[in-house]
Amino acid sequence: MELLLKIFGEGKELNALQMSARGIVVFFLAFILIRLSGRRSFGIHTALDNIIVILLGATLSRGIVGASPFLATIITCTIITALHRLFGWLMARRPKLANFIEGDKITLFENGKFVKKNMDRALVSQADVLQGIRRTAVTDKLDQIEAAYLERSGEISAVRK
């Protein structure tokens, strides 16, 4: 026990070596937690996915600098990861829950026209929609576009005719 205290320190009075040792442990722990959380944490970028990234980063950093007890930090991060995994599992099986938590796509362009009320609701401009069309449909000719959507991830996608 004495050796662990010497390596990892205790409280906020940590030296550079102790913080480095904690950083190494946290790095590997974060890697394991993200793997347990699933690929969607860094792939889909929905609100739920952003929550885990922010919470894990903020909580794990407290363990590194000694602002919170190290073991409590690890347990909290494991619980956050388990909740993310549970919600992801539930949303994959319950579309209504997924729509409640993450919302549904919003039509921004359809039938050759911008859908102004949806653009206002989504807080996107015509320039934003055009950028999404250029990026996903690789064209700036609106007559070639069937529809454009604001996806649940916040990205704008387009469907060609």
pLDDT (tens, 9 = 90+) of the chain, 161 residues, equals: 788 878 888 777 888 998 899 999 999 988 888 887 766 555 556 777 778 888 888 999 998 888 998 889 999 999 988 888 888 889 889 989 888 888 889 999 999 999 999 999 999 999 999 999 999 999 888 989 999 999 887 889 999 98
Tokens coding 62? 């407290």
- Which domains, from first to last, does the chain contain? 2-100 (no CATH), 105-160 (3.30.240.20)
Q: Do residues 136 and 111 lie in contact, with contact meaning Cβ atoms separated by under 8 Å?
A: no
Cα–Cα dist 97/152, whole Å? 13
Indicate the pTM of the whole model: 0.68
Contacts 24+ apart (CB under 8 A), 90-95: 91/48
